[in-house]
Amino acid sequence: MTIMRFNFVLFLFFATTGFGQPIILNDQFDDWESIGARFEDPKGDQRANNVDFTDIRISNDDRFLFVYFNTNKEINLQENNNITIYIDIDNSVNTGRKIYGIGAEITYNLGQRQGFLHTGSSTFSVSQSNIGLVTSPTVTSDVFELAIRREFSFSGNFFKMGDIVKITIVDEINNGDRAPDIDGGYSYRLQNYVYSQPLELTKASDKHLRIVSYNVLKDKFFSSNVKQYYDRIFKVINPDIIGFCEIYNNSSAQTAALIEEYLPSGIGQQWYHAAAGDDIRVVSRYPVINTASIDGNGAFLIDLGSKKLVFIMAHLPCCNNESQRQAEVDKIMSFIRGIKFGISPFTVPIGSPIVLAGDMNLVGLKQQLVSMLTGDIVNNNAYGPDFKPDWDNSDLEDANPLTTGVPMTFTWNSTGSYSPGRLDYIIYTGSVMSISNSFVLYTPGMLQSDLNKYGLNYYDVDRASDHLPVVVDFDLQGTTSTESASSSLPFRFIRQGDSWSFDSELIGRLTISELSGRLVYTMDKNLPGKMDVELPPLSGLYIISFYTGRKLYSLKVFK
């Protein structure tokens, strides 16, 4: 099987054959599994401890060229590296910059976020926005994908990719890896694939709950010169609950009043509102009955009538502030753990829907996203044990909606050096709610016919903010309950007088923590059966967690 695949790769390299596929840049890579244009580079041919390209894939649609590559090392693609992509857009070594056996019209250093266009005797310095570059993911990874527009203009010059392009990827350091190792690049023939995205911006049912997360750029929401854009945007997205970031100088009441201008209340309706931290504001068609601050982020208990929604709105620290961003994620997850075990300021039935949304600023270590989805808390001593955050002891789900009109999921767009990226998230308990519709509203990506249909203008979202509104419609399914699920746990914690024992046929690690998250006891259970537990003096409520290596179980106890 390996030999057959290797021969296929050679055929691709020399015969310039490619197969266009419907690629979507969405931080996931399963759509690349069936890709035809796949190339291999030898493993271990890099300088020690640096990136090693071994798997490169190429595809296209009618507007974008797509490139996939791995690095065999976790890095941040837009920081602290010298990975450079060279693209010969006309398959001619006699045009563009002559390098590595190709004539590259496009040179782009991904780690330095700097590119060049070469035409005739001229070289132009360009940024990502000039060539329509989008990279994914924004967090650290060892696999990446990117898109570049097939046609664009710059400084009076028109650039258009021909039927065949050639690509070389290089780690531009001393003895850095190059793919391919020989001159001539990877040759790819563009295919006749047209990207088409069904577009429906209205709710499928009035029974569904539409939640919007929106960073409105330092109170720009209240500027008179952008009201026309926000008016059109909100009339189209027509949310039930809005979580705002970056409203610093206006109250939640002022925010609700402005939403009332755009979406006037009918008979028996009103816009409820609440605030938390410096810039978090929530406006809702449903009453906000409780609020809690979580290190500058906010948790809001919203009464939906038949259910109560726990809505957490976050604005995590930006840029290189890794430790504080992870600490805030840990604190948010410990709050959700408290909800799940009934030890939170919010009293909700088991199975109540939980939504975590906001501008997460995930531009560094991927662990922060892992923590939010899986309950893997990094600082267990400060924030307590890991746990499975959904009610069925599974991970939370990431809505990850498509950006309208483009095969991507970015939520932030700028003309600066950083490429568009997914910074804004809506994460939810998938065991008790499902998505009926979702999108990130990006008016420049929409067809003119769709803009006309919904009463939008091309530049609306770009002129409103640098972030895009993230919209998700939820169908709230299942039932809530006040019954404990502890009877299904595969262990017993037994008290006999002042003595305690732990009984399970499984092996793993036992931990006990306070409700605040402080770890007070840990022990490895290496044999099945009962074992005695020597606890320090304790009193009050505690969380017992048992991790078997494959699954995490938790129980609330009183001592």
Secondary structure of 293-360 in the HEC alphabet?
Answer: EECCEEEEEEECCCCEEEEEEEECCCCCCHHHHHHHHHHHHHHHHHHHCCCCCCCCCECCCEEEEEEC
Per-residue confidence (pLDDT) for residue 18, from 0 to 100: 43
DSSP classification of residue 31: G
Give the relative orientation of helices 367-374 and 322-340 as an angle to the nearest 10 degrees. 0
Which stretch, 11-20, 263-272, 509-518, has highest mean pLDDT?
263-272
| 414: amino acid identity, one letter | S
CATH of 486-558, picked from 3.40.50.2300, 1.25.40.10, 2.60.40.3080, 1.10.1040.10, is 2.60.40.3080
Confidence of residue 361 (pLDDT cuts 50, 70, 90): very high
**Secondary structure (3-state) at 548:** coil
Confidence (pLDDT) at 197 = 85
**Closest-CA residue to 425 (of 239, 141, 214):** 214
**pLDDT higher than 50, residue 74:** yes
Split at pLDDT 50, 70, 90, the class of 417 is: very high
Architecture of domain 209-476: 4-Layer Sandwich (3.60)
Alpha carbon dihedral 414, 473, 332, 378, in 10-degree steps, equals: -70
DSSP-derived secondary structure for 455-517? T--TTHHHHH-SB--EEEEEEE-S--B----GGG-S-EEEEETTEEEEEESS-EEEEEEETTS
Mean pLDDT across 182-210: 94
* Mean pLDDT along residues 475-483: 58
Q: 208 vs 34, which has greater pLDDT?
A: 208
Question: Over the stretch 38-50, which tens digit does the pLDDT of each residue have?
Answer: 999 999 888 778 9
Read out DSSP for 189-208? Answer: E------------S-S-TTS
CB 305 within 8 A of CB 328: no
pLDDT value at position 557? 65
- Residue 115's contacts (CB-CB under 8 Å, 6 or more residues apart) are 106, 107, 108, 109, 125, 126, 127, 128, 130, 131, 133
477 close to 391: Cβ distance less than 8 angstroms: no
Which structure tokens are listed for 32? Answer: 């690349």
* 424 neighbors 417 (Cβ within 8 angstroms): no
Q: Taking 60 as the threshold, does the pLDDT of residue 166 lie above it?
A: yes
Which pLDDT value is given to residue 393?
87
pLDDT tens per residue across span 312-343: 999 999 999 999 999 999 999 999 999 998 88
Question: Looking only at Cα atoms, what is the longest distance across the chain?
Answer: 88
In whole angstroms, give the CA distance from residue 53 to residue 180. 9
Confidence check: pLDDT of 488 > 90: no
CATH number of 2-189: 2.60.40
pLDDT of 513 reads: 76
Picking from 57, 87, 56, 68, the residue whose alpha carbon sits closest to that of residue 160 is: 87
Angstrom distances, CA of residue 65 to CA of 55, 162, 315: 17, 11, 33
- Contact by Cβ (8 Å): 318, 359: no
Contacts for 214 with CB less than 8 Å, ≥ 6 apart? 242, 243, 244, 245, 424, 465, 467, 469, 470
pLDDT score of 131: 98
Is the sign of the CA dihedral 365, 73, 413, 474 positive or negative?
negative
Residue extent(s) of CATH 3.60.10.10 domains in the chain:
209-476
Sequence-separated (6 or more) residues with CB below 8 Å from residue 3:
none
pLDDT of residue 36: 65
Q: Is 93 exposed, middle or buried (0-12, 13-18, 19+ CB in 10 A)?
A: middle
CB 165 within 8 A of CB 155: no
Q: Residues near 372 by Cβ (< 8 Å), separated by ≥ 6?
A: 329, 332, 333, 356, 360, 396, 425, 427
Q: Does 22 or 73 have the greater pLDDT score?
A: 73
* pLDDT attached to residue 347: 87
**Does 12 have pLDDT greater than 60?**
no
Give the whole-number percent of the chain exceeding pLDDT 90: 75
The model's pLDDT over 234-248, given as tens digits with 9 standing for 90+, comes to 999 999 999 999 999
pLDDT reported for residue 10 = 34
Q: Given 3-state DSSP classes, what are the helix, strand and coil percentages for the chain, each rounded to the nearest 5?
A: 20, 35, 45
Q: How many residues are listed for the chain in this entry?
A: 559
Chain segment 91-114, per-residue pLDDT in tens? 999 999 999 999 999 999 999 999
Give the SS3 label for residue 124. strand
Residues 157-180 have a mean pLDDT of 96
Q: What does pLDDT average to over the chain?
A: 90
For 306, counting Cβ atoms within 10 Å of its Cβ (0-12 exposed, 13-18 middle, 19+ buried), the class is: exposed
Q: Is 259 helix (H, G, I), strand (E, B) or coil?
A: helix
Percent of the chain with pLDDT over 70: 89
What is the rounded CA–CA span in Å between residue 67 and residue 550?
35
How confident is residue 497, by pLDDT bands cut at 50, 70 and 90? Answer: low
What are the start-end ranges of the E strands in 241-287? 241-245, 272-276, 280-284
CA distance 415 to 398: 27
Q: CA-to-CA distance for 38 and 40, rounded, in angstroms? A: 7
